[in-house]
Structure formats: structure tokens, C-alpha cells
Amino acid sequence: MNFELTALPLQDVDAEIEIVIVVANNLKHRFVQDKKLLKKAGFSGGQDESCLLLGEGRLYVGAASVKSAAIRTAAASAIKALKGTKYKSIKIATYTNKGCTYTLRAMVEGFILGSYSFETYKSKKSKNKIKEISISLEEYSALKIDIEKASIQIHKAQIIADATNFTRDIVNTTPDDCYPEVMANIAEGMAEDTGLKCKILKPKALRKEKMETLLAVARASRHTPRVIHLTHKPKNPKCVVTLVGKGLTYDSGGLSLKPADFMVTMKSDKSGGSAVMGIMKAVAELDLPIEVHGFVGAVENMIGGDAYKPDDVLVAKNGKTIEIRNTDAEGRLVLADVLCYAQQEVKSDYLFDFATLTGASVVAVGHYTSSIMGNNKKVQDLVVKEAHNAGELATALDFNPYLKKTIKSEIADICNISNTRYGGAITAGHFLSEFVDKKHSKKWAHIDIAGPAFVEHAWGENPHGASGAGVRMMVKLIENLAKDTKH
């Protein structure tokens, strides 16, 4: 899909169909040329409502406002409405929020994210026929738009949306086609394409690094684990950011076997690690002046004679002992070792981990929202703020000392599950905090993406399946760190 930015008025742009965004139900706006036809069709201009007027060559779609979130989902709805048609070229005006070209970026993201489909395993594939999208600088409120600034935003939108779709592809790939070795190969290929440095740790190196909790989770699988370290290191970076991702390429639950219904979609348990890879891709292609390190623990949790067991006591990389009471609480064991390894390798200004860690997060905040936890309210709030700015939903879940007591073990330093069924997302966050050292304690946030990472129906700009949750929020955060001289 190619994007062309033009100074020509919309009426002078040549395309097969025009998309008109109706903002705030305003059917009297000068862009709306078919008021009577729209009224007959029952179109009111509600958010994401669409109406295709074939004879006029126009598709109308509603947006609640000119804010980026509304324009992004409207653009996604428009491109979805054109799927299956034979149109090859589109034209559309520029929509900004009081001249802010970030809304233009959101619109382009919406087109790319909305056009995504995963058809790898279908014998008949439906091709997206739309190849060209022309964007006129004629603006909704008749404001003058700087073509250079607009062009930069379109370029950024393409990079970030493509990185999100790259992440979606990895998550959607079946466990038999994407296991730890494959995930490492994808990282190496992406690093070669983007200029990132990539280091892969295999079992021998993992044993040398004393990553015994990660190795325990992996040992019943025929696929050996990998730890991936991707590095973006520009000259004179403004600050250093470390990202850590849970890459469970499949999670059967281990000996604490999941019920059959809960085992379906567990290919999505690699969403955190996949998001880290997508973020690193975008950071490299944007060439942001921030040093960024991405660590992924790629592991498969299976059953067998060599499986780790409830009642085992494991020793993590930092020496803490962990009583195992449920082998389905495996993601935190992988993250424990990878967090320790990441802090050993890099002393960073910010440390973020991404994981589809708990069903409790979905119970707490729903399918569409990420839960943000940590020891520093400012860092926690920063993630929430930038998630919303980027078009993702996130909310803070605050730690408290009473829930921390529920992961105390009588026979080891800590237990891998709580002794209560309540507050499971927070107790999992408390568990991870045991593996964040004092130097990073106030610089760390845990991002539980279990809700939005994989949903079995379309929502907003997201399709059925993987959403690429975490990519846009973290790229936006790192972009803003690049602008900020105070860290």
C-alpha cells in the first residue's frame, strides 16, 4: 500500500473512490456532498459507521471527533468496508486536531492496521486490491498544513503500523511453525534487515548464565529454549531503555495442564516477546536517538517425563529460591531469569517488561486494556499516558503490601502463585518485582497485555487474533524520551 501526499485540492486528485470522514455527525460539512442520499440510506455518521455510495464513488465513515483515536478507527473501518471490492486507488482529505499532524499519522496507521489479515493457513487467499492512497493537504477545518511535517508523520505511521503487523504475524503463527528456534531466526533476520545487533543464547549458554527457572519450564519440550538480545545503539544516546518480553511459543500449562478450552489460542502466549521484537524493528527504522535493548525469553511449556513439577523448588539467576505450586504460572519464571540477565547486561534508565501474564488481568480490566504495575507511580503513569496517546488502552494496577504477603513460601524464598484467588495480576507483578534489583526498582514497569494481545473478534483497528499490543505505546514513549532532555 503506497501513500502519496499532494497539495492538490481533493477534487483534482485522481482516484477510483473517495473516502469522506464525517466528524461529530456533521452532515452539513462542505466535504459531505451527498446529504440526501446519506439520509435515505439511514447514515447518521456515528463512530465507525460506514456507507458506500457506489454511483457517487464515495465511502462515508463516521468519527466522533478529530482526535487521533477516533480518526484511526474510522480509517480502519473505511478500509475494512472496501475489502472485497475492486477499487485500487483511494483519495482522502487531511483531518487534523487544530492543525496537529499527529492525527494524520493516526489516519495512516488506521488504514494499514485495518487492512491487515492473516491468511497463511487458508488455501484461498483474498488479496487487498487497494494499492494507492492519495492524501490531499486540503484540511477539514481549512487550515494550512506544512507538507514536510505531514510527510514525516506519514513516514512514521508506516513504520509503526508495519512493525505492529510484523508482531501480529509472529503471534498468529501456529506453535508447530513458530517455536523458540524459529522465533530466534525471525529476530536474526529482522536485525539483519534493520541494522540491529542480535545475540542468541542457546541452552549451553543459558546454563552457564544460571537461568535455571527458564530451563526448567523448557525441559519437557522437544524444542530447546532461546534468549534473544537485540540492540539499537546510536551515537550519544539521550538515555537507555531495556525491554523484556515473555515469549512462550506455546503454553500447555505443563503438568498443571490447562483445560482443553483454555489451551486453544495459547500460541498467543508469545505476544510479549513478539511485541519487543516489533518495538525494536520500529525503533531501528525510525533511528531514534535512544539506546534500546530488547530481551526475549523464547520457551515452550509442555508435558512429559522430564517436566518440572508442583512441589519443586527452583533457583533463579539472582539466587532466590522459588516454590512451584502450579506449573501453569510459568511465564513469570521465564521472565524472572530474563529480567535478571537483562539487568546484568545493561544498566538502563527505564526497564519495561511485556507479557500475557495473567487471566486475572483480563478479569480486572477486560479484553482491550493492558494493566500497568510497578514501584514508581511516575513511570507507571508515563506508560499509561503514552499508551493512550498512541491509541492503546491501559490502566494502572497499584501494588499493595497485603497482596505481596500472599506469595510468601514456607519452604522457599517465594512461591510462584498466590495463596488467594484474588488480585492475581498484582500478585504476579509482585513476584516479578523480586527479580528487579535496587538500581532498577524505581525505573521499572510491568505491562500485562493478556487482555488486548489476542482477542477472537475484530475491535477498533484490530482484527480477529493478534493485535500487536504494546508496540505503539512503547514506540510513542521512546519517541517522547528522545524529545525530552530530562530523564
Rounded CA gap, 390 and 337, in Å?
A: 30
Q: What is the DSSP string of 260-328?
A: HHHHTTGGGGGHHHHHHHHHHHHHHHHT-SSEEEEEEEEEEE--STT---TT-EEE-TTS-EEE-S-TT
Find all residues with CB under 8 Å of 90, minimum gap 6, and list them: 15, 16, 17, 18, 19, 82, 130, 132, 133, 134
Burial degree of 245 (CB within 10 A; 0-12, 13-18, 19+): buried
Q: Which amino acid is at 309?
A: K
Catalytic residue among 67, 202, 258, 325, which?
Answer: 258
CA distances from 34 to 154, 301, 323 (A): 29, 57, 67
User: What order do you get walking across the sheet with 350-355 strand by strand?
Assistant: 197-201, 226-232, 291-301, 240-251, 350-355, 444-448, 369-374, 393-396
Look up cell 539499537; give the residue.
232
Among 58, 72, 267, 332, the active-site one is 332
Beta-carbon contacts of residue 52 (< 8 Å; ≥ 6 apart): 58, 59, 60, 81, 82
Helix (H) or strand (E) holding 448: strand 444-448
- Residues 65, 96: Cα–Cα separation, whole Å: 10
| Residue 258 appears among annotated catalytic residues | yes
C-alpha closest to that of 249 among 208, 209, 301, 201: 301
Cβ atoms of 364 and 460 within 8 Å: the answer is: no
The SS3 call for residue 127 is coil
End-to-end CA distance of the chain: 38
Active site residue 86: no
Residues with catalytic annotation?
258, 332
